[in-house]
Amino acid sequence: MAPSATSTGKTDRDDLTSRVLPEMVFSTGDSSSMTAPPEPAPSHLTPAQRAQLRFSVTGNAIVTGGAGTLGFEAAKALLEHGLQNLMIFDVNPTQAQPKLDALSAEFPSSKIHAMKVDITDDVAVSHAVESTAEILGSVDILLCFAGVVGCYHALEMTSQQFRKTIDVNTTGNFLVAQAAAKQMVKQGTRGSITFVASISGHMVNYPQPQAAYNVSKAAVLTLKNCLATEWARYGIRVNSISPGYMDTILNEGDGIEKSKQMWKERNPSGRLGVPSELTGAVILLSSNAGTYINGVCFSFRFV
């Protein structure tokens, strides 16, 4: 096919040969940069206090999909480790209101709120992040748990089903991360962003057919690498967690019992994970202990 002509008479190929590529900028890492090393722990602290400080979480967080089991468990863990305030983004936050009320009672000094947000809507996401900064005071941590799962044979999958999975799991994660990063840059503060990818982004799981889901999560892994590289200069770290099969409502029911047994057998631990077992990785990536961890994925073992 011949290159098309533009309004100036030039062809697309001519434009390619005359373009100037934008370039990424790395941090210098010196004391005046956003990637300067952390200050050493005060010498007067006891060993127990130093250990507590190492995994201390500061600032305010947004957790997408926070009304779900895994997102809520992670949000609670952040509060337990010192998070000041919490905002949950979810398409149906009212379902978690009883849990949020209980969380507010347990952490009375923290502001704990929820917003109904469609993460595939860039305008809604941008407004939600801006509102969060106004309500909480800042946005310092982002955990991206929102996502969809679809199991379809590739020969039968519709384009709508494929696009929806990519739109939520990949594009939606990017939009929230971008909006949060813009807010962090505006604040002039460092930040931590953690995507929830999947072992399905590293391999083709069995026996369920889920090409769109696998592709969407593999894309999240590459997105994490790209953003970790581009945004390091701003002191924004971007990492991911790839959970194995977790023991949540998504994996309940007699209809998937056969598959569930296969998943257990292919895991060296011989079982599904418990939601609380994800929180260690979440805290590490979000706390003082993770200040030099960037572009990393914690993948839970599966063969």
* 96 touches 67 (CB < 8 A): yes
Bridge partner residues of 112 (DSSP): 86
Catalytic residues: 198, 213, 217
* 175 touches 195 (CB < 8 A): no
Q: What are phi and psi of 276, to 5 degrees?
A: -65, -20
Nearest to 250 by CA among 241, 259, 242: 259
Alpha helices in the chain (DSSP H): 12-18, 47-54, 69-80, 97-106, 122-136, 159-166, 173-187, 211-231, 257-265, 279-286
**Total Cβ atoms within 10 A of residue 225:** 17
3-state secondary structure 227-262: HHHHHHHHCEEEEEEECCCECCHHHCCHHHHHHHHH
Helices 173-187 and 122-136: angle between axes, nearest 10 degrees: 40
d(CA 119, CA 126): 10
